[in-house]
Every structure is written in structure tokens, then in C-alpha cells.
Amino acid sequence: MPHDGHHHHDDDHGGSGLSPIALRVKALESLLVEKGYVDPKALDVLIETYETKIGPRNGARVVARAWVDDGFADWLKRDATAAIASMGYQGRQGEHMVALFNTPGIHNMVVCTLCSCYPWPVLGLPPVWYKSMPYRSRAVIEPREVLKDFGLDMPGDREVRVWDSTAEIRYLVIPERPAGTEGLTEEQLAQLVTRDSMIGTGLAKPHP
């Protein structure tokens, strides 16, 4: 069921040569550690899992297909489990899928308040912060503040809907397609889809 809800810390190592994007990632890492979402000891494993992108690439291809194929998008809305399985992504933790489409007026965000139910076939292993008590407890109570912790400041007129995953139902957020991507191929579009955008704690990357 949906629940309705209504930082940047700079890392400076004296000319370490990090790009603005890398600095932003480091800043968000520091903030997530500080807020208790991520165990610092687990961060290296988290980064490694994220950078290899093994699991999330499956979900990214599902999103890209939905962006370019209205028929597939409609199928996702009607029966996400079957639509996703048609692309070869199925199995444990993905038996009952629901696709949540973000719109200019609605932003969807997924949490599992009881444990860490997560759609493995399309997103791989859940990130450490998804399983953390601060995320699981605060996402429902103050979703806008949690999104700010992830660097996402939602406009006041955009409704934030929080969906609680269960053993029976798992959710995949379909982020909004970035502007100016009309000429991109499906595979190029998939490169813009991040794992966090499919959980709802991030957006798809803008077209370079």
C-alpha cells in the first residue's frame, strides 16, 4: 500500500583531483554514513557491487524498453511480472512484481519496513542502506527528508508515494525519461538508468 508524504557536504583533500561527480558521490557517501544508513565497513562492498552494476543493468533495460515502447509500458502496468519475465528476468525475489511509473506530479519510492524484500532479478542484491533501520523506519514517516539525504529535493507540488515491499509483492520504479533523449537507442537509454532511480531514491541521469 502507498503511504503519502510530503546536503551537501564537501569533501576536500587538497587537490585530490576528483571530478565534480566523484566529489558529489563522496559527499553523499559521507552523509549516508553519518545518518546511519550505511555501515562504513560495508561501504567498499557496496561501492564494488554498485560499480559492477551486474543486477541493476537488468532493471535498466526494462526501464529503457518502457521508455521507447508504449505497448511494453502498458504491459508493465497491467502485469509487470510477465512483462519483465518476457525479457528473461525472473526467479526468486521477483515472482510478483509491480511497476510504479513516476510522473511530473507523482514520485514513487520503495521501502521494506519489515526486512529487506527487494526485486533481485532486476536490481541484483539490495544495497546496505536499503536494509538499514534508519531507512526502513524513516522512509514512511518522513520520505521527503530521506530523499533530501540522498540529494533529491522534491518540489512541494509533487506527491511522494511510499510503497512497502512484502514477501508477496516487490516494486520496480520506472523513473521519468530524461529530457533531450529522443535520439538515443534503447541501449543508450539504459545507461542513464541508475539503481537508485529504480528504488525511488534517485532520478535517471540527464543526457550528457
Catalytic residues: 112, 115-117
Sign of CA dihedral 76, 79, 82, 85: positive
Q: Grid coordinates standing for 160? A: 511522494
Which stretch of DSSP H or E encloses residue 139? helix 133-141
Task: State how far the Cα of 24 lies from the Cα of 160, in Å rounded to an integer.
Answer: 24
Helical spans, DSSP H, in the chain: 20-35, 43-52, 56-68, 70-78, 80-85, 120-123, 128-131, 133-141, 143-149, 186-190, 195-199
For the chain, the straight-line distance linking the first and the last C-alpha, in angstroms and rounded, comes to 36
Can you say how many angstroms the Cα of residue 7 is from the centroid of all Cα atoms in its chain? Answer: 19
